[in-house]
Amino acid sequence: MTRLFRPTRQTKEEKAAVEIGDILSDFRLDLDSLGYYVARSNPYVIYRRFEAVAESALLEREGLDDTRMENYNDRLL
């Protein structure tokens, strides 16, 4: 029996996550300055989206269940 090899495709979100990880893997990068420039050089909506991504990563890392996450998301609005 022959199986066809189909490469998995990354979503835009996965590609962006890998790109962010690559940028942050440079330990010479000053994270305080990066935060300053993210906050200062982007519109408020972009900053809030950045904040949402960081919070989502934190919640994922901590392993919070869906009900606690829904309550958390309600607080953001």
The answer to whether residue 60 scores a pLDDT higher than 60 is: yes
CB 59 within 8 A of CB 72: yes
Q: In a 3-state reduction of DSSP, which class is residue 33?
A: helix
Gap between the Cα atoms of 11 and 14, Å rounded? 5
Give the pTM.
0.65
Q: Encode 54-75: b = buried (16+ Cβ within 10 Å), e = exposed.
A: eeeeeeeeeeeeeeeeeeeeee
- Is pLDDT above 80 for 69? no
